[in-house]
């Protein structure tokens, strides 16, 4: 069995069953409007690049409040477009910023980069149906 699969719901999953992209949930949030969903995904991809830059700078400078704020924005934005794993990982950084403990924040940032890459691949519709 491979480490990736597709559930009956259409949500792309990994071996631990936590979705990279939950299409059904994201489509539900747009009340079934696929065009709106695709537009929101595009906006998220742009915003996530900006937010990751803010997070990297904040972590590098030890600015816990900025880490908390940027992670909170990333968490909310990703949750609205079906980025379940991104939201969960961003929540970890948000908590680290709130508790002023940035131990392993670099590792969490690396995870986020990987998850955003997975999300980008899962949402690269390019004329095909979402995965």
Residue 130 included in any domain: no
Give the domain extent around 101.
4-122
According to the model, what pLDDT value does residue 128 have? Answer: 55
> Which distant-in-sequence residues (6+ apart) come within 8 Å of 110 by Cβ?
none
pTM (whole model) above 0.75 = yes
Residue 127 included in any domain: no
Residue 101 included in any domain: yes
Label residue 19 left, alpha or beta by phi (over 0 means left) and psi (-120 to 50 means alpha): beta
Residue 73 included in any domain: yes
Residue 37 included in any domain: yes
- Provide the pLDDT confidence category of residue 129 given band limits of 50, 70 and 90: low
Query: In CATH, what number is assigned to the domain containing residue 66?
Result: 1.20.120.160
Three-state DSSP at 48 gives helix
**Count of structural domains, the chain:** 1
Structure confidence by residue, pLDDT tens digits, 68-108: 999 999 999 999 999 999 999 999 999 999 999 999 999 99
Residue 104 included in any domain: yes
Residue 129 included in any domain: no
Tell me what the pLDDT averaged over the chain comes to: 85
Residue 128 included in any domain: no
């Amino acid at each position: 069995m491979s480490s990736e699969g597709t559930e009956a719901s259409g949500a792309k999953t990994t071996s631990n069953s936590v979705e990279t992209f939950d299409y059904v949930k994201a489509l539900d949030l747009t009340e079934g409007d696929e065009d709106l969903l695709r537009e929101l995904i595009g906006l998220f991809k742009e915003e996530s690049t900006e937010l990751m830059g803010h997070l990297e700078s904040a972590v590098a400078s030890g600015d816990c409040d900025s880490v908390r704020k940027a992670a909170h924005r990333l968490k909310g934005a990703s949750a609205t477009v079906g980025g379940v794993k991104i939201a969960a990982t961003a929540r970890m950084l948000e908590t680290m910023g709130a508790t002023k403990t940035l131990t392993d924040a670099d590792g969490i940032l690396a995870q986020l980069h990987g998850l955003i890459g997975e999300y980008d691949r899962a949402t690269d519709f390019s004329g095909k149906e979402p995965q």
